A and B are shown apart, each in its own frame.
Chain A
């Protein structure tokens, strides 16, 4: 029996620049006791569709133009705000993408947990507290009694998402809407949260509407998959049909974009470009606390022209390691020898020259570009600063860079906010290439991007690497991405390198249990079978 049945839903956003149709006649169903997944890239209208059902899109500019959404014998779209409010948090609950920002930092976790109970059931404070503690325990929070009075900032992202789940389930809703609940989490945590959601769904026999941009994530848990593109449903069916017999080209594109397999050419013997020896980067702890040993005695070589993958969870020290090599983080001990020069002792002019030869690409293309500089200015700055060219032939150089990273030359006078995430990352890559570096540290360069865009950027990096004979340290938490781009892999855990080897060694015969657990958490085990 269907729990929620959406028919011909149409939503548009009315702005000064005209009306934009975000959802164009979308229909889907969530069966009782089943998980329905809606898949699509950002901007496909998948989140808007679900928020519209509960009256959670800001209006104006949002506007529901038509359709119906049957839930429990009533059409959600015709209910008044007060009637909808009764349903929200009682019959239909939600969890969101980013657990870091979705909990109120000013209120204790307990206060936020009991709110739905007190509101919808008028439960007494003590009884509500008891119930909340039971549920915290059920979602796997240790010592829930003390957690109850803690503030959100005292927890990691995964823990906060567990709290969010507990909060959503506290009133025993019949439908749970999960909007990208694992996207902001590390792979190992992602696997745990997915398992938790699947278990809770089975135990409680509730319906789940699971929104994601990642086909691989939902492969293991969904009963039904609905694929959306540009406000329309393009394909729907069971996971089996979708994965084995996809009809629509967009679905096939999504499937093809799931990173898998490895690079064909195993690198031949090459000379060493960078030697890292017993590198330690410690951050002083506050007061009498132990120093934080972000990088703790790490040694390895990077060969000229190779892509070295550095994988680990957040907090494993992989980003700090990358930054230490770049001399962006203060090194405590050890040496980094770049092409025969020990860079740990460089200062002033020498350091600047050395910086020209090494560049960095950051995770967040939104934050790492100056919003007040046009693409032209962003690219011109390093060119002039390092004397790569003079003002006369600046335009030519910039045009060449734009071609290299696959951006139309007409874009050069635009500002970062006018670009999509993938395009911004292209600009960031262009900026890194401007100084004609020999070595690039790419710190999670594709983690903030949609899968199809991810694949394009990875391809671009590989092509540019070949063309410019670049050596690259590619930092990522995502094993699948590493497998696609790297020649060799280092696995980092708690500031130390726990495993190193070629891609096939590490992926096919991992010797460390930590590496095995990382591999086991790659989403889409169902795909492999």
Chain B
């Protein structure tokens, strides 16, 4: 198992390196620079600024200087928030985004697994069609449409919930979490339905019934574990999607998370900020994919014994 994890981590290094390199040159290839938009900048002031942030050096020297900083864990100073480093900004936004992502994932799993298992028990009946049709709608509905719709209905017409902010007014975390989690709940529902259907058709389920087990035990004890392996394996990619999706949701609901800094950084050509966020997020995504792969393998006794070298 340890060897598997180590080799996966080693494989991640070139992936992250390519991401860094590509992003570094892409942001610099984009027209405009970090100090172009300022209203009146004296040429000498601009030169001084560029010198301070090493922007006057040739491109390849900037690149190697940046890589050097990275190895020390330095993401550099932000161009747009003078006096703050990218590290500081990232860690101020991270808890908010992490909390949002966590709630969204929780909603996705609770609703998704319940609906999927429920549907799989009576396939091709109303008990199957209704939740699965809802799931289809959930997948097709983008968050930039669902978010405003929820705001309109629950915030403005019904006046039940606050429509923006994070942690300021009680209940303001509900709508963003639902907006972000809905599509994943739908996807998890479809995955759990398919996984459960596959397992429920296996011979060992018939064995369990032949032993006289009540149906709820057949489902929870014999089917659920294998049926949910696809869902567990999906959690890694889902996490990546949640991070990407949080940019939109944070913008809709005015939430001071990582996503908003990221979007603003792109508009501002804040090179170090864009790069820092990208490096940080890609590392997280690689890690979470690894964690979900390991968890999915761990659930399968056959793979587990292979990992721990023969005997489980």
Contacts and interface: CB of A to CB of B under 8 A. Distances in A.
A104 B305 contact: no
The secondary structure that dominates the A interface is mixed
B203 A98 contact: yes
B43 interface: no
Nearest to A164: B207
A104 B210 contact: no
Nearest to A154: B305
B302 A88 contact: no
A86 interface: yes
A102 B204 contact: yes
B127 to A, nearest CB: 14
Contact of B210 (A89, A98, A151): A89
Contacts, number: 74
A106 B300 contact: yes
B211 A104 contact: no
B212 A116 contact: yes
A89 B202 CA distance: 19
A105 B210 contact: no
Nearest to B207: A102
A86 B214 CA distance: 9
B210 A115 contact: no
Interface in A150-164: 151, 153-154, 164
B210 A54 contact: yes
A94 B207 CA distance: 8
Q: What size tier do the contact residues of chain B reach?
A: 20 to 34
A365 B216 CA distance: 37
A167 B212 CA distance: 12
Contacts of B206: 56, 96, 102
Nearest to B204: A104
The secondary structure that dominates the B interface is helix
B204 A105 contact: yes
Contacts of B9: none
Contact of B207 (A86, A96, A151, A287): A96
A89 B305 CA distance: 31
A287 B312 CA distance: 17
A105 B222 CA distance: 9
Contacts of A386: none
Contact of A119 (B202, B211, B299, B312): B211
Given A96-B207, A104-B207, A87 B301 contact: no
Contacts of B305: 151, 153-154
Given A101-B202, A151-B301, A106 B210 contact: no
A211 interface: no
B309 interface: yes
B148 interface: no
Closest 7 pairs between A and B when the two form their complex, measured CB to CB: A89-B212, A89-B211, A88-B212, A101-B203, A151-B301, A104-B204, A94-B210
6 contacts: A56-B210, A85-B213, A86-B212, A102-B204, A106-B225, A287-B309
